[in-house]
Each structure stands twice: as C-alpha cells, then as structure tokens.
Amino acid sequence: MTELRVRLAGEGPNELGRDAVDPSRAEPGVIEALLRKVQPTGWSVTGRTKWKDIGRYRAKGPTPGEADKVLALAFDAQRAEQQILAFARDSDGKMGRVAEIRRGVDEARSAFPHVAIVGGAPHPVLEAWLLALQGKTGTETLSKAGAQSRLTETGVPSKDTAAMVAAVEAARSEERRVGKECTIQ
C-alpha cells in the first residue's frame, strides 16, 4: 500500500513544526502530532505551507480572504498529488474568520474531491485546543491571552512547539471533545 501524501498548513512552527522555520530541524508540530494520534502510520508529510505564504486562488478580485486561502491550499495539494490537506488557522476570537474558513472548506471539498480536508479554526487559538486535550472545559470561551496563560499555567509554554507536541502525545486516546467543532480520537 502506498503511503498517503499530506500537506500541512498553519501559522508557524507551533502548527507546522520547527522545520517550517529551520529546515535542518525536523521536529513535528501540533497538527502532525494530532494526525499521528488518530492514524500513526500509512502517511507522510510531503509539504508545509505557512498561512502568510498562501498564494491566490482567484487571479482577480479583492485581497484573498480566508475561504480563498483554503481553496488555494486545496488546489496546491491536488497539484502536488497530496491526498490530504490538514490545517489550522487561529480564529483569534473572530467568528467571521471561523465562518469564512468553514465556507472555504465546503467549497474546496466540492472543487477538489480527491483531496481530503482536515482543518479548521481553533477558537480562540491553538492553545485552547491543547487545554481541551488536557480535559479542561469551556476553552472556547477564553480570550486569546487567557488561553495562552492558562496553557502556560499547566506547564506548557504557548510558544514552545516541543512542549505543545508533548502535550498532544500525553493526551489520553479515548474520544474527547475539543471545543465545539473537532473530535479527536
């Protein structure tokens, strides 16, 4: 069986891994750690894209919004023959961003049916997802700063990628609800 090819996209090293910043440091990020929790083998990361580096999907029109960026990512994944697109883009407390990303995922699934899309907007930030993995409830109601400080209080500095990955790996494996939008198994 051929391994599935996966494209990751996120805002920086916490989502994508240290090699998103420094290619000589092959350390996974939170997205890869979450994927390994669900499916340990049978796939490999064959591309990483920082959110700020996503190109345009539509050649004309206004500055690309979040939905357009999701479409561009799916297009790039299809062009690179990657079967899976996995991404995270913090909502930063902006519910409009969450809606835009959902719309982009829906459009991309329709336009690129051969690319499975696993992605969304952690609300308010990725740190809230990590708190939820630790069994904390109500994390989706925290502010960005609140989620980051609460995660630090648990011993996981919010900008320490290795510590964040370790927190994912330490999470129990049974089904757990993450915020209101994502179920991790």
Q: What percent of the chain has pLDDT over 70?
A: 85
Q: Residue 62 — very low, low, confident or very high, per pLDDT cuts 50/70/90?
A: low
**What is the rounded distance in angstroms from the CA atom of residue 25 to the CA atom of residue 118?**
25
pLDDT-wise least confident of 6-10, 41-45, 54-58, 105-109: 54-58
Backbone Cα Rg of the chain:
16
Cis status of the peptide bond prior to 124, with omega within 30 of 0: yes
pLDDT at residue 176 above 60? no
H helices of the chain, in order, are: 13-16, 30-38, 66-79, 95-111, 126-133, 144-153, 161-170
* Prediction pTM value: 0.87
Reduce the DSSP state of residue 46 to 3 states and report it. strand
Q: CB under 8 Å to 130, separation ≥6 — which residues?
A: 30, 151, 156, 164, 167, 168
**What is the rounded distance in angstroms from the CA atom of residue 40 to the CA atom of residue 159?**
25
